[in-house]
Amino acid sequence: MYATKTNPAATLSAWWPRSLAIVMIFGFSVLLLISLSAYRNAPPIPVQAVDPSDGVIFTDNDVSAGQQILLKYGLMDNGTIWGHGGLLGPDFSAETLHGLALYHAEQLAQTRFQVAYSELADPEQASVDALVAAAFKANGYDPTTGILTLPPASQAAFFTQVAAWTAYFADPAVNGGLTRDAITDATELRQLTAFFSWAAWAAAAQRPGTSHSYTNNFPYDPLVGNHPTGGAVLWSALSLVFLLAGIAIVLLAFGKFDYLGWHGSDTPPAVSNVMPSMATLTPAQTATFKFMVIAGLLLLAQTLIGGGLAHYRADPGSFYGIDLSTLLPSNLLRTWHLQLAIFWVATAYVGGALFVAAALSGSDPKGQRPLINALFWALIVVVVGSLLGQWFGIKDLLGGLWYWFGSQGWEYLEIGRFWQMLLVAGLVFWAWLLWRATQPARANPERRPFVNFFLIAAFAIPFFYLPAFFFGSTTHFSVVDVWRFWLIHLWVEGFFEFFVTVIVAIILYQLGLVRRLTAIRVIYLDAILYFGGGLIGTAHHWYFSGQSELTMALGATFSALEVVPLTLLTLDAWDFYRVTRGDSPVYRHRLTFYFLMAVGFWNFTGAGIFGFLINMPIVSYFEVGTLLTINHGHAAFVGVFGMLAVGLMAYMLREVMSDAVWPVVEKSLMVGFWGLNSGLALMILLSLFPGGVMQLWDVLQNGYWHARSLNYTATPLARFIEWMRVWGDLVFIFFGALPIVIGLLWSYRALLRGQTRNVPIK
């Protein structure tokens, strides 16, 4: 099937699959080369770090053990390393680096001027600062022996940091709500400080052959001579060129070829050519309904935990007079908050995909309903087991089994390795269920392209979860960050995006809104645009985690291209709005299209505007690990994947419920629609965005360590901005998540009573 000279829109050009193949091969080839280079570029871990006068300070075994302690106690969901992790505590690497530098500055001030460092006049302080910067920039690592020689008095400086971190873990009011006396073992505290000190050394010491540190001079701290590199400025400017050029090329193509996109000239108005498979419900489709109910309950739980987490930022010492940290410390709540976000969205997608698969074929393969029920209960076991395991693991109740059954400790991938293996097995089983359900449709030449895309997107989800198994608790932190973001970025922002596009295309085709070729062409177009920038653009997460400036260059330029397809979503949003007007035969699904409009808005706002804002290296250098990161994360994840998940719920509910039941359910979901969107907007406008801008300003004024410490976060204005988030949280929870759960439970009750479009459930 090829395009003709007379009417290129009538058939599909062979260059669509060729172009997609070229993009995928090129993108993955470059991304794989960048990823493998991390093994060579990662900052070395010395066999021994020594003080010239006092001997060994720490060893490589101490650093490795310290990293495991960070993970075992869930500290990556409290603070950050090189900007990655939780924002309830400080950046451990930046705080340690500045603490060590201050010790040396104090010693120099006392030796040279016989006064405290804080009492020095400006010229004298500048001379001390220059000496401190020179000492920290000097790289005393000998690759032939593996010995790192640190400046004199480094051992004494190290033990001041051990004391500082011992005090930090003792009091929830100063550590962001960790359990009181979270870590008391002297050996563990020394090893943890060794890991922090190694990360601090790598952040300041000059990488051989360059003029910057292993982390491209991150974090910003003038005392140790850390300033943004020239590359950060250059590649930020060039990323703007890539962005403008990409938008211009795409808009030119849309202007020349008017059949591109949902809005193309070959897109018919709403017609009543609904596919026969939509006329009746299959037993397998009704079995998927409980996935949506569980997804709704997980959403409600996640929002409640999110409210508690926000309270820890506003008042870490108590929860309205209660010491909540003894039972539910803040790092546990953040772990649950992140895991539940993934669980509820994934559960909705799993159920929605099974529903659509049955709709494609119009019938169920033998035994499909019991198999779906088995998958459902396996999902419940993984969710409950992993959440309880994380609780026990962070409380140090699992002994040496913490990594397998508790929390692995890596941000976003906290789920224990055993539960992780079950999750992947469940996703493979789910993909197989989709395959067997769609085989009758695949035999139909008209539907075969949809089924092929559907299955490729589904199988890609478990396949690209595999990088989660490429590292363990002792793997080098820089290497872990590479594979961790293969999963976080590619799994969520790549293949979930592609999977979403395929499902939306199938639904629109089934509802008679677009012709077959239009839907297939849009799938190709979106895949080319998303993966064209998104694959190599993954590198924007690795600017400051021990990679080279080449990684920064590729990450900056290609991540800018990720914004290009998002600019086109405004066109989709208008078409979705137009569909809901008048007497369209699909007016009955107007609520689904409301959520699709919200997806378009938040994708452009959260992923496009807020994402591009923090993706430029020069901005990311000062911003990473501030509230602007959370601002982007909430707008992009909740606004895009969350809204689409609820949109799938609305679509399924309308397909299942009888006309007599639907008006009550629709009212509840409509309240939820406005509650979710207005609550998210209030969170951003009243707290996350202004708070992020203020914190960024403090970084510029006082250094990164300061903006991430209680020196800033405990100020009255910063705490006031945190408290302002309560209005958005309340609206999101009680007018967003709660009405949606009520609508789902009411619908499930109706389903059990047989009040569906066709036959009662047996």
Residues 6+ apart with CB under 8 A from 641: 345, 492, 496, 500
A 10 A CB-CB count for 480 gives 23
Q: Map tokens 């930046």 to a residue.
A: 94
Output phi, psi for 131, to 5 deg: -65, -40
SS3 string, 619-675, reads HHHHHCCCHHHHHHHHHHHHHHHHHHHHHHHHHHHHHHECCCCHHHHHHHHHHHHHH
Total length of the chain: 762
Mean pLDDT value of segment 628-637: 93
What's the CA gap between 80 and 399, in Å, rounded? 24
* pLDDT value of residue 487: 87
* pLDDT value of residue 681: 97
What are the structure tokens assigned to 648, written together? Answer: 């799938």
Mean pLDDT value of segment 652-667: 89
Mean pLDDT value of segment 191-208: 98
Average pLDDT in the chain: 89
What's the CA gap between 234 and 618, in Å, rounded? 9
**Residue 688, CA distances (Å) to 307, 426, 692 in order:** 14, 36, 6
Q: In this model, does residue 508 exceed pLDDT 80?
A: no
Q: What is the pLDDT of residues 573-622, one digit of tens each?
A: 666 666 556 555 566 788 888 888 888 888 888 888 898 899 999 999 99
* pLDDT value of residue 274: 43
Rg of the chain in Å (alpha carbons): 27
* pLDDT value of residue 569: 59
Res. 531 pLDDT band, cuts 50 70 90: confident
Q: In this model, does residue 737 exceed pLDDT 60?
A: yes
**Looking at per-residue confidence, does 253 or 271 come out higher?**
253
Mean pLDDT value of segment 204-225: 96
DSSP state of 608: I
Task: Give the residue among 103, 84, 105 at the shortest CA–CA distance from 93.
Answer: 84
Q: In this model, does residue 519 exceed pLDDT 70?
A: yes
What's the CA gap between 283 and 290, in Å, rounded? 13
User: What proportion of the chain, given as a percentage, has pLDDT over 70?
Assistant: 91
Q: What is the pLDDT of residues 665-696, one digit of tens each?
A: 999 999 999 999 999 999 999 999 999 999 99
Output phi, psi for 441, to 5 deg: -70, -35
User: What proportion of the chain, given as a percentage, has pLDDT over 90?
Assistant: 64
Least confident of 460-469, 474-483, 615-624: 460-469
Look at residue 681 and give its three-state secondary structure: helix
How would you classify the pairing of strands 55-59 and 407-410? unpaired
Q: In this model, does residue 6 exceed pLDDT 50?
A: no
What are the structure tokens assigned to 266, written together? Answer: 């070959």
What's the CA gap between 453 and 267, in Å, rounded? 20
Mean pLDDT value of segment 639-651: 90
Q: What is the pLDDT of residues 177-193, one digit of tens each?
A: 999 999 999 999 999 99
Look at residue 56 and give its three-state secondary structure: strand
- What is the H or E stretch that residue 559 is in? helix 549-561
* pLDDT value of residue 604: 84
